[in-house]
Amino acid sequence: MTILQSLAYLALFLVLPPLLPGVVNRVKSRLAGRQGPPLWQLYADLARLARKGAVYSRTTTWVFRAGPVVGLAAVASAGLLMAFGGAPAALSFAGDFILFAYLLALARFATVLAALDTGSSFEGMGAAREVTFASLAEPALFLCLITLARATGSISLSGMLGPALPLAWSRAAPALLLAAIALFVVALAENARIPVDDPNTHLELTMIHEVMVLDHSGPDLALILYGASLKLFLFGALFVRLVLGFSVQGLAGLGVFLAGVVAFAALIGVVESIMARLRLVRVPQLLVGASVLSAFGLVLLLR
């Protein structure tokens, strides 16, 4: 039963993510009084890109071609470690949250290498920014996960997000709340959403993530877009499980989880609608703030 459940969640993990950017865009359009693109826009985009051919610059090497593939593979394998909706993960061992964080980091590394491989100074700038902000988001993510580990007394993602979580909420609600807020900020930063990066602009001075993938085309771009949506889904799953930390079994649990992930996407849409992008010099402040908040949560648990 549990294996079936895990497999079902994994299948959902591979199929549903392109819906999330659709939800975000729909919420943004509605709040701005527009109709907005259809929810399945990204599926259509992916299908279109997959049929196209790719153009490679003559200065690029195999690193550039490997970038999107490694990126997608790393994010998809991170999904194996994730305990979706509190169901046990497909793969679980003590300390797997470190592998989880570094698989996401590996995906970023592959994208950054591919961007640097083009030899374009513009993409190099985007890569530098991406890595700078990622290095600040990483401590925050780890502090959140350590807070979670400390609160639940388990050091694997399945244990942290599993049946021990409701008990942890009743014992250490403030610390987990602080960790959840910090995690949301990290999710916004990692997925290049608005207070940190604007997914819509192609304005040279402000681009971070978008600029790195400018040279990718066709199937490669499809892999990158799909990988980005998988990553958004992963962070959504982590955040939703942390916030809705009660135990629900079976189909009801699945429903709650999916509703939660859609609500997470809608929340991002609302944040993007009511906030402006921060100036680049202010972004580290936001990320350090998230680290300090989660460190405070950890201190509350340790005393």
Partner 1 sequence: MRMSAWTEMVFILVVVLDFFLLASSRLKAVIRAAAAQGALLAVMPLLLAWHTTELGHVLALSIGALVVKGIVIPRLLLWAIREASIRREVEPIVGFIPSLILGGVGVALAFAFSSAMPLPTPEQHAFIVPTALSTVWTGLLLVVSRRKAVSQVIGFLVLENGVFVFGLLLSDFMPAMVEAGVLLDLFAAVFVMGIVMFHINREFSSLDTEKLSVLKD
Binding residues for partner 1, rule: CB under 8 A, are: 173-174, 178, 284-285, 288-289, 291-293, 295-296, 299-300, 302-303
Report whether 20 contacts 233 (CB < 8 A).
yes
The alpha carbon of residue 13 and the mean position of all alpha carbons in its chain are separated, in whole angstroms, by 13
Report whether 196 contacts 188 (CB < 8 A).
yes
Q: How far is the CB of 245 from partner 1 (least distance, A)?
A: 14
State how far the Cα of 21 lies from the Cα of 44, in Å rounded to an integer: 13
SS3 category, 198: coil
For 193, the token pair is 């959403």
DSSP single-letter state for residue 199? S
By C-beta, is 178 or 221 nearer to partner 1? 178
Q: How far is the CB of 286 from partner 1 (least distance, A)?
A: 8
State how far the Cα of 26 lies from the Cα of 65, in Å rounded to an integer: 32
By C-beta, is 182 or 230 nearer to partner 1? 182
By C-beta, is 14 or 288 nearer to partner 1? 288
By C-beta, is 4 or 302 nearer to partner 1? 302
By C-beta, is 6 or 294 nearer to partner 1? 294
Name the CA dihedral angle for 166, 247, 80, 91, rounded to a multiple of 10 degrees. 80
For 157, the token pair is 């993602």
By C-beta, is 38 or 174 nearer to partner 1? 174
Q: How far are the Cα atoms of 3, 16, 118, 154, 267 from residue 20, in angstroms, in the given order? A: 26, 8, 30, 30, 11
Report whether 194 contacts 272 (CB < 8 A).
yes
